[in-house]
Structure formats: C-alpha cells, structure tokens
Amino acid sequence: MAAFRFQAALALLITLALTACAPSGPSTRDVPISDPAFDAALEIEASGRHEAAAEAWLALADERPMERDALQLRAAEAWLRANRPDQARELLAALNPTALGPEAVLRHRLALAELALLDGDLATAAWQLAQVSGELSEPLERRRSLLDDMIQRAQANPAREALTELESALYGGQFSPDLALALLLDHPLEQLEQLQQLHRHRPELAPWLDLVVTARRHLLDPAQLGPALMEWERLNPSTGYRAEEALAWLDAWRSTQAMPGRILVALPGRPAMQRASAALRNGMLSAWLDLPVARRPQLEFREVEDREGAILGLWFEARESSMDFMLGPLERDQVDSLVALPDAGLPMLLLNHPSDPRALEAMSGAIQAIGLMPEEEAELAAVQALVLGHQRALVLTQSSDWGQRVGDAFERMFELGGGRIMDRAEYSPVQPDHSALLEVFLNLDRSEARADALARLIGQPVESEAQPRTDIDIIFLAARADDARLIRPQLRFFGVGDLPVFGTSHLISGAPRASRDSDLDGVFIPLPPWFLDDTEFGRQRRIAENRFAGLDNPTLSLLHALGADAFELVRWVARMQRDPSLYLAGRTGRLRLPDGRLIERDLPLVEIIDGRAEPVR
C-alpha cells in the first residue's frame, strides 16, 4: 500500500508537466497508409483519455506486427501521460529502436527522458534529452523545450517547489506523513537541511521536515535507518506516525526505484582471471536475485578477449545494441582504454580506478569508477590514527611496488593531517626473521651502544636491557597477512608490543579468526563490513561461502562483494552524483561519490583483540 501512496504523491508533481510534453492534438502517423482504426486511436489520444489511448495502440500493435514497434511507442507515450510509468517502462524496454523511423527514434529518446524524470533520475533524463538533436518538427521541438525547462527547474531548486506542494496539502486538508516523504525524499540532503533550519519555528511543518531529513540521511543504510527513525518517533510522539510505518514506506520506495532495463557486464576473459571473473559474476547475480522478479534487469555477461582493443569493441557493441548501462571492466589496462575516449557514450560504472584519475574527470557523460584500492585504505588508516590522537609514526613497508604505494599513501595523508613520520624502512617478504632490521628501526642498536660506551667509561660491565625508541606513538605496517603474523610478534619481542600497529585490511586474510590471528592483537585496520561476522553482510558472506567455490580466498571473496555492491550502485549512482552526502552501506564499505567520478569507500576501524575484530567506537 505504501508504494501506491508514493506513486500517487509523485503524480502530484509530474502530471501537469508530462501532459505539457504530450502532442497537443492529432499527429502524423508513423506509416503512410491511413485507416479508421488508427484515426480513432488518435482521437482518443487527443481527447485526454490516455489509458484508453494506450490500450487502443496496443490492440493495433497486436493486429499489425510489421508496425508493432512504432505503435508500442505510441502506447508507451500514452501510459506516461496517464502516470503509469511501469507500463511505459515495460514497453520501452521491449522496443527495437532500429525498427523505428527517424522521428520515432527521437520520440523514443524523449519518452526515455520523461520516464527518467518520473523516476527522479535527473542525470539520466538530461543525458537522454541531450541525444535529441538536429532539426526537429514543431511538436517535437515544443516537447523537447518543455522537458528541458522542467529538468533545469528541478535541478535548480526542486526542494523548495516540493515544500510548496507540501504546504498546500497541509493547509488544504490533504496531508499525510507519506506525502511528506514522497514530495521531499528524493532531494539532496543539504537542501533538505536548509529547509529544516529555515522552518524549525513552524510546529506544523518542523516534525515532517525532521522526518524527511532523518530518512534521507540514512536512506540506503538499513542498520542506521531503523534506530534513527525510532529516535524521531520518540521525539515527536504527537504526530502519531510510527517508525515502523516510515520504514515500510521507505522499503516500498526503494523497491520502486528503477534499474536500467539492459546491463552489459564486461568481465575478465584471460585464463588467469577466470576465478576473479566468476567471483564478480556470482556477486552480481546474488544481488540480482534479491530483487523482485518484475524489477530484475536483463544482464548480459561478456568476457573481454585478451587482445588489444577488445574492450573498445565491446563498448561499441553495447552502444549499437542500445544497452542502457555497462558494468566493468575490472582490469586496469582495459579501464585506461575506455577513459581515453572523449565521451562515455552510455552510462558506465568501471570496476577499477584508471591509472590517471584525471583522464576520468576529463571525460563527458555518465561514467564512474569503483575499486578495491589499497592506497585508499592506507589513507583511511592515516585519518583514523589522527582522529585517535596519534601524531608520530614509523612506517614499515614490504619491499615491493605494492608496499611502496601503500606506504606513500599513508605518509601523504598522515602528514597532511599534521602528523610526523619519524622514520621509514622496508622489509624483505622472503625473510622470516626481521630482527636485524627491527633493532635498527626501533633504535635498539643505539641503546646497546650507549650501554657499551658507559661500560668502557667506568671500566666494568654494565647490566642493561636495550630500550626501544620513545619518540613514536604508532607503527604503520604495509604488509600482507603472512608477513604481518611474523612481524607483529617480533615487534612485541623487541618491547613495542603495547604500541598500536595500523595497517590496511591486507594484514588479515579475510574475516579475522581467533585460532589464526591472535598474534595480531593490538593491530588496527579499516575492515570491509563483508568480513565482520556480527553483521548482516557477515551473514551473507557465510551463505555465499557455502554456495560458491573459492570464496575461502579473501581476494575472491572481496571481489564477490564488489560485484554485489557494483550491481546495487547502478540503481543509485545518478542520485549519488547529485548528492555527495548520499551513501550506500555496502559490503565493501560505505560508498559515496564526493567528486562525481570516483566512488569513495569508507570502512569501519577495528582492533584485533584475542584474534577477533572489535569495532573501535
């Protein structure tokens, strides 16, 4: 029932606009031969009986298979004017644009833009409208111009217009709590918070603005949304609106948000990458199966051949076959090939960062990227260390390009936040014993030298124990899990066991286990929620491990999680681009889009205690 109330409320905002975008009277048919049945459908359309017009066009389409696509397009346009977006969406997804005439192709683009506007997806609406170019007939130019004006007005100040609608409902006796959510929820949090502050003095309006802000702040984070709404209910008991009702409405709202109809997924095709490819695919399919059957998009999985230019060929094929979205690729050289293009051509979510992020920024079109970047985690570890009050660090990195990059990322962010790097060293991953390196790194050799000098001065032996340096308060360790399990006990042996050790999630092999990781006690890492056992995502991981082979490998397990997150992002990435504060609570982290191009991952900080991950509050 909540979903129906939502759609009805949304119709208050768009009915007038879509009617304005419709042809004002009978128009030229798409085939040259005229007949009474066609003219009768045109008359029904001109009379404003849009549902009846849609049914009339569909009946004609069934009778005339050679004209089916053109007639179904007319039916979809009629459904849009009748505020029946689901029926329109189904017809538009089934159309073959290559079977349409030139003017019908433009009308198809306009219908897709109108549908995106109905869905609140202004970025897609603007992108579809941008494809309508060239010399247009007068009715189409009027329709395009009106739609462009609507999109621009919605982008400029949509929240205030929605608030006006809410005030009219309040004072006109048509208000309901669901209406407040329906009118305002899809606007950026910053705009809603401005309205909240501006109208805090109005008792008839303030509780509902508080409700919308609360819902928007945690919209895609169920674990936070429930408690936040319960707190709103506690603070606003006189409204009579319960948190459970709001949760049910928001659940319905999320389920009604449209996915692209057809998604091409570009997976690695090299033999060495087949396990990674399977992990990504299975993660996406797991998230796809969680959707209601009627809401599942068509997924087309394609492997990128191991040859130069293969990804560009696949991208061109996706465009020519009218795909609505492209997911992938994963491998960086293929990502770099795509970001060298001047224009994305169709909405895309890359599954890795390009070598040069500036190339992504230079592109036009709807293109974003997400990746499992160790440098990102190192920067996050630096921020978290600074927040906890640490100011002086030693940096110990694996002697490899990977270790160098991770160490550099930590160092840059730590110093940017006012911290100091007191010393830095590299260890060899092929050596199990790092005693000689650690003695120098921790200044134990200087302590021993001072004791020897004192013994020579007084002419007799001096009993002493070498002391580690005291000018540091953390150690950052850029290491893999096997190395970390060796180095952490050696640090403890040399007297710095109480010193916090920070690192990336690579210090642990997936989810921490007491039987394996007790030697890592005192280590602080940002850890993906996928590897936290006492969470919903931890439960999902255990189910996935039983269902799919190979997920005992932490890298493949995280790729499975990335696949699921990437699929869910497809639905929300356009909204995230419009609202940098909107985040998706994902398996690989809290995902947001602060710069409009690169998805940022924020991970919870945990401390390893008795071999288990304990969240740091």
- Interval 598-617: pLDDT, tens: 999 999 999 999 999 999 98
pLDDT one-digit tens code per residue, 13-71: 444 444 544 444 434 444 455 688 888 888 888 888 999 999 999 998 888 888 889 99
Residue 8 lies inside a defined structural domain of this protein: no
Tell whether 11 is covered by a domain. no
Strand ranges inside 320-390, DSSP E: 325-327, 348-350, 367-369
Place of tokens 């797991």: 286
Alpha helices in 500-600 (DSSP H): 514-517, 536-547, 554-578
Residues 184, 278: one domain?
Answer: no
Domain count, the chain: 4
- Whether the per-residue pLDDT at 132 is higher than 90: the answer is no
Mean pLDDT of the chain: 88
In a domain, 3, yes or no: no
Q: Is the predicted pLDDT of residue 484 greater than 60, yes or no? A: yes
Q: Are 432 and 293 in a shared domain? A: no
CA 510 from chain centre, in angstroms, equals: 22
| Surface-to-core class of residue 448, CB atoms within 10 Å of its CB (0-12 exposed, 13-18 middle, 19+ buried) | middle
Question: Does 29 fall in a domain?
Answer: no
Residue 9 lies in a domain: no
| Residue 151 and residue 212 in one domain | no
* Domain presence at residue 13: no
Q: Please answer whether residues 54 and 82 qualify as being in contact, where contact means their C-beta atoms are separated by less than 8 angstroms.
A: yes
Nearest to 416 by CA among 393, 432, 436: 393
Indicate whether 561 belongs to any domain.
yes
**Residue type present at position 209:** L
Query: Could you tell me if 199 and 90 lie in one domain?
Result: no
- Helix (H) or strand (E) holding 477, with range, is strand 474-478
- Residue 126's domain spans which residues? 40-155
C-alpha 441/C-alpha 432 separation (Å) is 16
Could you give the CA distance from residue 401 to residue 407 in angstroms, rounded to a whole number? Answer: 10
Name the least confident of 80-89, 528-537, 554-563. Answer: 80-89
Task: Show which of 105, 139, 155 is a domain's final residue.
Answer: 155
Q: Same domain, yes or no, for 150 and 182?
A: no
Residues paired with residue 364 on neighbouring β-strands, in sequence order: 343
User: What confidence category does residue 8 fall into, taking pLDDT thresholds of 50, 70 and 90?
Assistant: very low
Query: What is the CATH classification number for the domain harbouring 138?
Result: 1.25.40
Q: Is the domain of 433 the same as that of 338?
A: no
Same domain, 81 and 219: no
Mean pLDDT of 120-140: 82
Q: What's the residue count for the chain?
A: 617
Burial string for 265-301 (b: 16+ CB within 10 Å, else e) reads bbbbbeeebeebbbbbbbbbbbbbeeeeeeeebeeeb
pLDDT at 466: 56
Domain match, 466 and 531 both: yes
What is the band of 456 on the pLDDT scale with cuts at 50, 70, 90? low
Question: Does residue 400 belong to any structural domain of this protein?
Answer: yes
CA 128 – CA 112 distance, rounded (Å): 7
Residue that is last in its domain, among 353, 370, 387: 370
How far is it, in rounded angstroms, from Cα 420 to Cα 413?
10
> What CATH number is attached to the domain comprising 353?
3.40.50.2300
Average the pLDDT over 210-220 and give the result.
Answer: 97
Give me the phi and psi of 605, to 5 degrees please: -85, 130
Do residues 606 and 613 touch, judged by C-beta distance below 8 A?
yes
The string over 234-249, giving b where at least 16 C-beta atoms fall within 10 Å of a residue's C-beta and e elsewhere, is eeeeeeebebeebbeb
Percent of the chain that is helix, strand, coil (3-state, to 5): 60, 10, 30
Residue that the structure tokens 């309006």 belong to: 205
Reported as a single tens digit per residue, the pLDDT across 369-394 is 999 999 999 999 999 999 999 999 99
Residue percentage of the chain with pLDDT more than 90? 60
pTM value?
A: 0.76
Statement to judge: residues 503 and 595 lie in one domain: yes
Strand order in the sheet with 367-369: 298-304, 262-268, 325-327, 348-350, 367-369
Distance CA 222, CA 502 (A): 29
Return the H-helix or E-strand segment holding 264.
strand 262-268
Q: Are residues 97 and 188 in the same domain?
A: no
State which of 256, 282, 302 marks the end of a domain. 256
And the tokens for 373?
């970047």
Q: What is each CA distance from 485 to 403, 406, 518, in whole angstroms?
A: 16, 18, 9
**Is 345 in the same domain as 465?**
no
| 357 and 386 part of one domain | no
Nearest-CA neighbor of 117 among 155, 79, 90?
155
